[in-house]
Amino acid sequence: MELNEVLEKVPKHLMNLVIDQPYNSYTAQDHALWRYVMRQNIRYLSKVAHGSYLEGLQKTGISLERIPMMYGMNRILREIGWAAVAVDGFIPPSAFMEFQAYNVLVIAADIRPIDQIGYTSAPDIIHEAAGHAPIIANPAYASYLKRFGEIGAKAFSSANDYRMYEAIRHLSILKADPYSEKQMIVDAENGITLLEKNLGEPSELAQIRNLHWWTVEYGLIGDLDHPKIYGAGLLSSIAESYYCMQPKVKKILYSLEAVRYSFDITEPQPQLFVTPDFDTLTRVLEEYANTMGFRKGGVEGLRKAIQSEATGTCVYSSGLQVSGTFTEVLDKNEVPVYLKTTGPTNLNYQDKELPGQDKKYHQHGFSSPVGKFKNLPVSPEDATDEQLKELGFTEGEEIEFEYESGLKVKGILLEKTRREGKLILLRFTECEVSYKGKILYQPSWGTYDMAVGSRIVSCFSGPADPVAFGLNYAVPKEKTHKLQHTAKAKQLFALYQKVRDTRENKDPLQNLTDVWNELKNHHPDDWLCALEILELLNHQKEDLLYREIKLFLDARKSEDSNLKKLIEDGFMLLEA
């Protein structure tokens, strides 16, 4: 893989998800499919897409003729401050968001089967490279995308969210394989429907994914009555980019209300949201961020951390960051009094692990009070050594003090830790912590490191220092299928290659007669190869071969309603 300045900043725990683009696995039919979609995009989207789209196609160096090599794209993307990496289908949403925060576009390396040429619910290289990449050339939109990643990476998820992710990934893998049994796909879709009915209260991640869907994936921009397309899901779907402009699809002015609208990836969307401009996207995103744990902190943030059942971080008003799996919070009138993690935990400051406060030291968890000390006129993090001494905080001596909440601490003070003038930690031995008569920490448990801070100002998903914590996104167990094409399919791909060679090498058109005879005799269901032959004969409309292929395609679109618009749009390309 070829790195650029952007990729060099991406942490290792994300790069574990990156794969080499399997470029040699793309068939001649895959390249023809790409070419058809891209040429249709140029023809149709020039009328209905935001002006940045066609501009961005040029800036990002995306070829219309063949599937792009994404690491070649990196040389051009770096000029606008972005990069691209290949991944194996859907990756965990939190990882996707984090990549975005680092200005990295993740591109699913596979390409949709020909029977899903108009729309696919699975991420593929058409969706990512032809949908997402061009629009990020717009600076205002790119800024929104990066900000979305920064905020989305802090969103708490739930165990149900991960189950939904795995179910969607499973479905996308099946749908990307043209040889999957139909019943397996139906079962996977039914599984997602069942999960959707039992998700419970939506997590932060579930809600922010709704905003992502209605903007980044399915967003419209401009006038409510005559909007333009900018969402990648629409830009990469030649079926839905047409469908979405029809009156039957309700258009709603974009606002924070969009967070309440869930979506079904397997069906066309019944409504879409229209933003007046890209700046509005950022404003609404910041509105939602104001409701999240990373900005609210407090009991609400801690409860979200507990509900996530995964690694999270809480930040004291002193700046101390506790990273671990939160399992308990005690409160008084909805104000945190005491918090607890279970399992490996570390303590950090400014996103860097503090010396001696790693997961090994806190391997069984961490617990600490929150709040102000009784009889101390300032917040404890702001107390000077003189003020603390007046309360009896002398190193090497026993101290007994009480929080304003009523929580009591008794022990021998060993040392104080400060950062940038703020008191962030007190270390005790022979320590006992109690609240309302209940012992929360007792001397036999060993040295007690107590966090200092009057409030919990932030709670967010993931560790504060991913490297020190050893964060690692597990590579998905279920892999995208390596397609084992049949001998007949390989023969068809060879015909596509002969057509491509004729076009690119300007080989004699007479060679196409043999290709057509083999195509109609052995692959009568294929229409795209026939259309490509017709294109090469377009200036010979009186030719018998041209007329025979034209009659064949007319018959195919009459027989199969799913092909009608695809073939008619293909004819429009020839006329153009």
Q: Which range among 47-51, 75-79, 278-282 shows the weakest confidence by mean pLDDT?
A: 75-79
Q: Are 514 and 478 in contact (CB under 8 A)?
A: no
Burial label for 44, CB within 10 Å (0-12, 13-18, 19+), is middle
To the question of pTM greater than 0.75 for the whole model, the response is: yes
pLDDT at 564 over 90: yes
**If you ran DSSP here, which 8-state letter would residue 49 be given?**
B
Identity of the highest mean pLDDT range in 5-9, 167-171, 264-268, 529-533: 529-533
CA distances from 79 to 6, 50, 102, 415 (A): 10, 21, 15, 51
Confidence band of 491 (pLDDT split at 50, 70, 90): very high
- Which DSSP string corresponds to 27-93? -HHHHHHHHHHHHHIIIIIHHHB-THHHHHHHHTT--SSS---HHHHHHHHGGGT-EEEEESS---H
Q: Report residue 173 as tokens.
A: 């893998």
Burial label for 377, CB within 10 Å (0-12, 13-18, 19+), is exposed
C-alpha 337/C-alpha 313 separation (Å) is: 17
Q: Report residue 300 as tokens.
A: 């609400």
Q: Which residues contact 58 (CB under 8 A, 6 or more apart)?
A: none
Specify the higher pLDDT residue, 340 or 173.
Answer: 340
**pLDDT of 2:** 62
Confidence band of 475 (pLDDT split at 50, 70, 90): confident
**pLDDT of 490:** 96
Per-residue pLDDT, averaged over 476-486, amounts to 87
Q: Are 82 and 61 in contact (CB under 8 A)?
A: no
For the chain, what is the mean pLDDT?
Answer: 92
Per-residue pLDDT, averaged over 504-532, amounts to 93
- Which DSSP string corresponds to 176-238? H-TTS-HHHHHHHHHHHHHHHHT--SPPHHHHHHHHHIIIIIT-EEE-SSSEEE--HHHHT-T
pLDDT at 344 over 80: yes
Domain layout of the chain by residue ranges: 7-287, 309-469, 487-575
**pLDDT of 343:** 98
Per-residue pLDDT, averaged over 92-105, amounts to 92
**pLDDT of 154:** 97
Per-residue pLDDT, averaged over 480-500, amounts to 94
What is 309-469's CATH number?
A: 2.30.30.100
Which CATH architecture best describes the domain 7-287?
Orthogonal Bundle (1.10)
Q: Which residue from 440, 438, 455, 436 is spatially nearest to 372, judged by alpha carbons?
A: 455
**pLDDT of 506:** 85
Q: At what angle do helices 28-40 and 561-575 cross, to 10 degrees?
A: 70
C-alpha 360/C-alpha 375 separation (Å) is: 36
43 alpha carbon, distance to own chain's centre: 30
Per-residue pLDDT, averaged over 83-90, amounts to 89
**pLDDT of 477:** 84
pLDDT at 3 over 70: no
**pLDDT tens for residues 374-409?**
999 999 999 999 999 999 999 999 999 999 999 999
**pLDDT of 483:** 85
Per-residue pLDDT, averaged over 268-293, amounts to 96
**pLDDT of 478:** 87
Per-residue pLDDT, averaged over 492-520, amounts to 93
φ/ψ of 214, rounded to 5, equals -80, 0
pLDDT at 190 over 80: yes
Confidence band of 198 (pLDDT split at 50, 70, 90): confident
**pLDDT of 545:** 93
C-alpha 69/C-alpha 53 separation (Å) is: 20
Confidence band of 417 (pLDDT split at 50, 70, 90): very high
Per-residue pLDDT, averaged over 6-29, amounts to 91
First to last CA, the chain: 39
Q: Report residue 56 as tokens.
A: 């961005």
**pLDDT of 321:** 98
C-alpha 57/C-alpha 38 separation (Å) is: 10
Q: Which residues contact 95 (CB under 8 A, 6 or more apart)?
A: 14, 17, 473
**pLDDT of 285:** 98
Q: Which residue from 132, 297, 324 is spatially nearest to 229, judged by alpha carbons?
A: 132
Q: Which residues contact 8 (CB under 8 A, 6 or more apart)?
A: none
Confidence band of 299 (pLDDT split at 50, 70, 90): very high
Q: Which residue from 199, 474, 120, 464 is spatially nearest to 319, judged by alpha carbons?
A: 464
Q: Which residue from 195, 193, 175, 176 is spatially nearest to 184, judged by alpha carbons?
A: 175
pLDDT at 508 over 70: yes
| H-assigned helices in 290-383 | 293-296, 298-308
Per-residue pLDDT, averaged over 178-191, amounts to 91
pLDDT at 255 over 70: yes
Per-residue pLDDT, averaged over 292-316, amounts to 97
| Residue type at position 75 | R
pLDDT at 536 over 90: yes
Per-residue pLDDT, averaged over 97-112, amounts to 92
Per-residue pLDDT, averaged over 479-487, amounts to 89
| H-assigned helices in 335-394 | 385-390
Confidence band of 1 (pLDDT split at 50, 70, 90): low
- The SS3 of residue 350 is coil
